[in-house]
Amino acid sequence: MNRRDALKMTAATVAASMISGNVFAQSKPLRVLILGGTGFIGPHFVDSLRSAGHKLTLFNRGKRNPGLFPDVEQLLGDRHGQVDALKNRDWDVVIDNSGYLPKDVKLTADLLKGHTQYYLFISSISAYADLTPPGIDEDYKLAELKDPNSEDISANYGALKAVCEQTVEKTYGNACSIVRPTYIVGPGDTTDRFTYWPLRASRGGEMLVPGTPSDPVQFIDVRDLADFVRLCVEQRIPGQFNACNPPGAVTMVDVLDTAKRITKANTRYTWVDVPFVEAQKLTEGNELPIWAPTTGEYAGAALVSSARAVAKGLRFRDLDTTVADTLAWQNKRPAEQQQKLRAGLTAEREAELLKLWHQKK
């Protein structure tokens, strides 16, 4: 699918859903348990679900933003073993957005079996065995956990997520769904992986950018993810779903140009090729987040198919909104967080690389 077709598909889907009114058909209020709820994605889930009148309960350790939702029931515990607060309670649906280790997911899945009608697990496209071919859909092979006893999340993130998925599906059968987002972006994303790009583009001057202007990037606005999760739980939609913008719908230059236009910046892009990126070992850390080379091991990382989710009602807000809202949120963060991002190139590193690139040319 080319970019123009992808954009048409997205627009057509949104228009059709608005006309039919089926995407957010009215349903009776649900009792929803969220395992987590106060980190990055959880609050957006809460906002979307509450906007539809659903009754929420949050289960977490109470350490992150404990006073964020004073009018929402909070159950304190730890999914690593302290789950007594969940016993002998019933909910219509469970949303598990904090499951990383299979034993933890098995604990809550088993405990809540018979006490909920539906279990939704937030996984990741990292659960796939690889991201090499374009167009990976939900039937693509999953990563295998070589050591079943491993709890090393940093080394085995994708494989552990895959086993977590299988644990949920084994327990709930058709009464569950698995949502596999790509990069989740937008207001509240403290990883700074997406934030770096519009922020840097808004600052002007010469900017180092990898690859080519047409290189695809794939992500999902956290609010679109939240709305899709709400749709799934309201309609009890079973199955697995990739959650990301359509392949080819957004490119690197789209993100940068959007930020430039919104902020009226005078930024000049200097595109550096993949051999230079690799020679400077820029793919090994988090200096060039979200972007991936269009050849090699991760050639399909930004070309994952979201057709199944789109067919079920996944919608996408426009890029302007995501970029503008991300920048507005960034400008309200504490000064230290604004000045020192967790991802992207520092000004000094960028200047060093630009000098090397121009010397090479």
The model carries a pTM of 0.92
Q: Give the Cα separation of 314 and 308 in Å (integer).
A: 9
For tokens 């719908």, name the residue: 249
Cβ atoms within 10 Å of 23's Cβ, excluding its own: 20
Q: Which homologous superfamily is 3-360 in? A: NAD(P)-binding Rossmann-like Domain (3.40.50.720)
Q: Give the Cα separation of 114 and 122 in Å (integer).
A: 21
Q: pLDDT truncated to tens, each residue of the chain (361 aa)? A: 334 344 444 444 444 343 333 444 556 899 999 999 999 999 999 999 999 999 999 999 999 988 899 999 999 999 999 999 999 999 999 999 999 999 999 999 999 999 999 999 999 999 999 999 999 999 999 999 999 999 999 999 999 999 999 999 999 999 999 999 999 999 999 999 999 999 999 999 999 999 999 999 999 999 999 999 999 999 999 999 999 999 999 999 999 999 999 999 999 999 999 999 999 999 878 999 999 999 999 999 999 999 999 999 999 999 999 999 999 999 999 999 999 999 999 999 999 999 999 998 7
